[in-house]
Amino acid sequence: MKSTNSWKLKDILMIAISAMLFGVVYLGMVYTGSYLTAILTPFGLGVLGYEPIYGIWFMAGVYTTYVIQKPGVGIIAEMLAALLEVLMGNFFGPVVFISGFIQGLGSELGFAVFKYKRFGYSSTIAAAVGCTVLSFIWTGFRSAYWTLSPALVLSIFLIRLISSILFCGFGCKLLGDALTKAGVLKAYALGQKSLNPDE
């Protein structure tokens, strides 16, 4: 692992473009979420509609941290993702900077549990859980979850957790490994590890 903390333009672009990509993927799936929301709304369960795809929000942070393996990458990635959201005209506007920071922090906490030294399923899943817990507290605060029934709030949390673990815990790890195999990550920590496995 490199100890240098200076950011290369290429890394920043990689993070920003990946964040953008996950944004596009999310937009592709948002129809599914809107459809679900519209169906569930008359039953009073509309708030659950977007939860199955919530994990995609966290992918930018978890994926880039898994590839670059430096502290701080997750927060930067999520903040850049939030900035891109704002540029694209997200209807929540600049408040998503805070959401981005909180999600990034959740991802960082997950990787920090393993001191940014071990990068495997355990760390990506820990990051996924971190993102879920922190983002849940934040959205709960913003949408006043405490005024809703505990059963509904619990199901929000569980669905988001499952989505996050599937997309980030497993999805990001699998994507990172597949890209390493394809040989396109040689410039990054994850790809370099595969070059000298004794490390």
Partner 1 sequence: MSKVNPSIKAVTVLICGLFISFSYSPYLNGYVIITCLILMAGSGVKWTSAGKILIPATLAAASLFFSALFHTNPDQIAASSTPSVHNAVQLELRIYAYSALGMLFALTTDSEEFIYSLMHQLKLPPKFAYGVLAAYHLLPAMKREYASVRLAYKIKGYHLSPFSLRPVFSMLVNTMHWSENVAMAMESKGFDGDGPRSYFLIPEVRWFDKLFFIGYTGGTAVLLFLFPHFPV
Contact positions toward partner 1, by CB under 8 A? 7-10, 12-21, 24-25, 28-29, 32, 34, 37-38, 40-47, 49, 76, 80, 83-84, 86-95, 97-98, 141-144, 146-152, 171, 174-175, 178-179, 182, 184-185, 187
* C-alpha torsion sign, points 19, 71, 76, 14: negative
Type of residue numbered 104: G
Q: Is 185 helix (H, G, I), strand (E, B) or coil?
A: coil
CB of 59 to partner 1, least distance (A): 9
CA torsion, ordered 120, 50, 155, 61, to nearest 10 deg: 20
Smaller CB separation from partner 1, 6 or 196? 6
Smaller CB separation from partner 1, 2 or 8? 8
Smaller CB separation from partner 1, 94 or 120? 94
**Contact criterion met (CB below 8 Å) for 49 and 37:** yes
**Contact criterion met (CB below 8 Å) for 131 and 120:** no
CB of 34 to partner 1, least distance (A): 6
**Residue 47 per-residue DSSP state:** G
**Contact criterion met (CB below 8 Å) for 74 and 104:** yes
Smaller CB separation from partner 1, 46 or 71? 46
**Residue 45 per-residue DSSP state:** -
Q: What contacts 131, CB < 8 A, 6 or more positions away?
A: 57, 58, 61, 62, 103, 106, 107, 110, 164, 168
Smaller CB separation from partner 1, 1 or 12? 12
CB of 193 to partner 1, least distance (A): 16
Give the total residue count for the chain.
Answer: 199
